[in-house]
């Protein structure tokens, strides 16, 4: 298989590219490295092709898609807070960029596009767990953009016959997330703080809960979605089907790291959803998906990764 991973220098994209290369596939990565990191691909430099470019350029995207069988579309400008601060830039990357990928895939006769969507599309819908047939209620500009991407995927399948699959990720974490960015997810931020013997900072009371999903589970879901029969045009929740509060996560991290630091609490952030949990029965039944790494195991692997980075930086 010849695969293109857009956003392949990023957190999730680099893990997908790595798995594809290890499985013997021909891999091409498209990334403008605005949020992705070249360091994420250094160990793979002999096993894949890197094309530098922005998905908002149709010409650049078309050149990258040419000759590929499957596109794993991971490129995005992530973060709910970032989209609230700058909705126009978020829309350009996450909507126009996705449209360019779909146009290029259609024009090049790609056999499947796997699109990285988000649990944020459920937004303010209070029903738990979240099922794919629930009404969507996106709250943030980021969520609106991801839902628009899903809409374009469905449209390109229905109108042009382009096989697409949208995967709604729930709070993915693991190695290679950047703990230093102001838009970082909570897991790397909490780990970095505790490793420095500092108090992790929590927006709100810490009782908000999420279906935290280790990155290797998401990688497996992408590979399954690329190969499964009779799933074109559909959406799937990708998660573990469980939820943990931020306070529970901090307690687990303190146990793993051996820290006694208490958290520091501040105001809640606008756009944040209180609780989120996935129903993954559709992914189990139609993709054959099963999360293989538990929440605790994923935290242990992630802490080990950041400890190794800290040790190397200290030399």
Query: Could you state, in order of their start, the residue ranges of all structural domains in the chain?
Result: 2-170+214-241, 186-209+243-276+294-314
pLDDT recorded at residue 269: 83
Say if residues 80 and 233 touch (Cβ distance below 8 Å). no
Residue with tokens 């021909």: 26
Q: How far apart are CA 66 and CA 133, in angstroms?
A: 34
Question: pLDDT tens digits for 19-38?
Answer: 999 999 999 999 999 999 99
Q: How far apart are CA 13 and CA 36, in angstroms?
A: 9
Q: How far apart are CA 131 and CA 150, in angstroms?
A: 15
Burial class of residue 295, CB neighbours in 10 A (0-12, 13-18, 19+): buried
Active site amino acids: 142
Question: pLDDT tens digits for 224-283?
Answer: 999 999 999 999 999 999 999 999 999 999 999 999 999 999 999 876 778 999 999 999
Say if residues 237 and 282 touch (Cβ distance below 8 Å). yes
Query: Strand 49-52 and strand 244-245: pairing?
Result: unpaired
2-170+214-241, what's its fold?
Rossmann fold (3.40.50)
Mean pLDDT of successive 10-residue stretches along the chain, which has 315 residues: 98 98 98 95 95 98 98 94 93 98 98 97 92 94 97 98 98 90 80 95 96 98 98 98 97 97 92 88 98 98 93 76
Distance of CA 169 to the CA centre of its chain: 6
186-209+243-276+294-314, what's its fold?
UDP-galactose 4-epimerase; domain 1 (3.90.25)
């Amino acid at each position: 298989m010849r695969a293109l991973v857009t956003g392949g220098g990023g957190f999730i994209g680099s893990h997908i590219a790595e798995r594809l290369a290890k499985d013997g596939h021909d891999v091409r990565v498209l990334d403008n490295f605005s949020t992705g990191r070249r360091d994420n691909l250094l160990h793979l430099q002999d096993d894949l092709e890197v094309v530098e470019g922005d998905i908002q350029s149709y010409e650049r995207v078309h050149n990258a898609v040419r000759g590929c069988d499957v596109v794993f579309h991971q490129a995005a400008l992530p973060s709910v807070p970032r989209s609230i601060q700058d909705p126009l830039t978020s829309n350009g990357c996450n909507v126009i960029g996705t449209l360019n990928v779909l146009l290029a895939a259609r024009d090049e006769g790609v056999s499947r596009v796997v699109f990285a969507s988000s649990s944020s599309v459920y937004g303010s819908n209070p029903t738990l767990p979240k099922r794919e047939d629930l009404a969507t209620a996106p709250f943030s500009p980021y969520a609106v953009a991801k839902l628009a991407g899903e809409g374009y995927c469905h449209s390109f399948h229905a109108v042009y016959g382009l096989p697409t699959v949208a995967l709604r990720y729930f709070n993915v974490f693991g190695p290679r997330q950047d703990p230093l960015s102001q838009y970082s997810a909570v897991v790397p931020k909490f780990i970095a703080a505790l490793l420095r013997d500092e108090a992790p900072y929590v927006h709100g009371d810490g009782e908000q809960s999420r279906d935290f999903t280790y990155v290797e589970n998401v990688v497996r879901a992408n590979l399954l979605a690329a190969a499964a029969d009779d799933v074109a045009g559909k959406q799937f929740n990708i998660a573990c089907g469980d939820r943990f509060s931020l306070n529970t996560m901090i307690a687990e991290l303190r146990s793993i790291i051996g820290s006694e630091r208490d958290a520091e609490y501040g105001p809640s952030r606008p756009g944040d959803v209180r609780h989120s949990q996935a129903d993954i029965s559709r992914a189990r039944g139609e993709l054959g998906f099963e999360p293989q790494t538990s929440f605790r195991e994923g935290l242990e692997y992630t802490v080990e990764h950041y400890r190794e980075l800290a040790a190397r930086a200290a030399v």
